[in-house]
Structure 1
């Protein structure tokens, strides 16, 4: 099935929240959610989607991927990149990352958990370099994380 990318709209909020929740629960069991499912749904509806910069990946009528970006103080941030567990390993993450990099100016930064080896390999494969490691004291999950940066242009293909 083909996957189309488009800007998220308010009506997508419940589906976006479900992708985030399912992905977090499937792939990040060591990083307990700091919020209830209802709070995540509310945050997506009231904060994430209205902030702009959110792209959804749709397979037919289903949202199967979420990307959220922003620009702050001269730095582009990749804040969310989550896929429905059933769509991991199919090139969709690469496609969403490529979509983000087409519109973001360098440098591009992101955080991921140190224990998220799969995500770390993914970002490193696409040219991101680890620039800082933390003990997790500043994130809601209190999980050690790593700050990545992409400072040079790269070609990201599907």
Structure 2
């Protein structure tokens, strides 16, 4: 089995939106704030054109993706989703390495507090909890956690 990381392209929007929607439907603690059509449009018209979206392909199939951005003078990991059948196979690890390797400054992310698996994953990659929030800043209005990684904390 081969795993490759590459920059996402416009033609990947549908596959990435599909992974996102499938993963989010497995999160009963955080209902989707938008319907399928709006999510597909957001991937095609906003997320991918903004750039800094990476995807992982396993044997030619898109297995997961990560999206990053710069906001308020900070580098953010905004999205990291791996298709269910590829979870636990190194896809998330490979995407995380793509994002963090050689990064000279900190990276922040927010995750739902109830997403224990994702929190363990991020903590295992050197992210440290900065604060817990009540969800007033996210569309789902679900309690969240703010994490930060610094180059000197990566294991």
TM-score under structure 1 normalisation?
Answer: 0.92
CA distance in 1, matches of 2:3, 2:151: 28
Within 5 A, what are the aligned runs for 1:1-158? 1-26=1-26, 28-102=27-101, 104-155=103-154
Check 1:76–1:92 CA distance in 2 against 1; reply closer, same or farther (3 A cut). same
Q: 1:111 to 1:86 in 2, by over 3 A?
A: same
Runs of 4+ in 1 over 3 A off after TM superposition: none
Paired residues in the alignment total 155
Task: Name which of structure 1's ranges 78-87 and 146-155 shifts more when overlaid on structure 2.
Answer: 146-155
After TM superposition, give the deviation of residue 74 of structure 1 in Å. Answer: 3.0
The secondary structure found in structure 1 opposite 2:80 is: strand
Aligned-pair Cα RMSD in Å: 1.4
**Partners in 1 of 2:28 and 2:14 — Cα distance?**
22
CA contact (8 A) 1:76 1:104 kept: no
| Mapped contact 2:104–2:151 kept (Cα < 8 A) | no
1:81-125 Cα distance to aligned partner (Å, 9 max, x none): 000000111121111101100254421100000000001111111
Cα displacement (A) at 1:155: 4.5
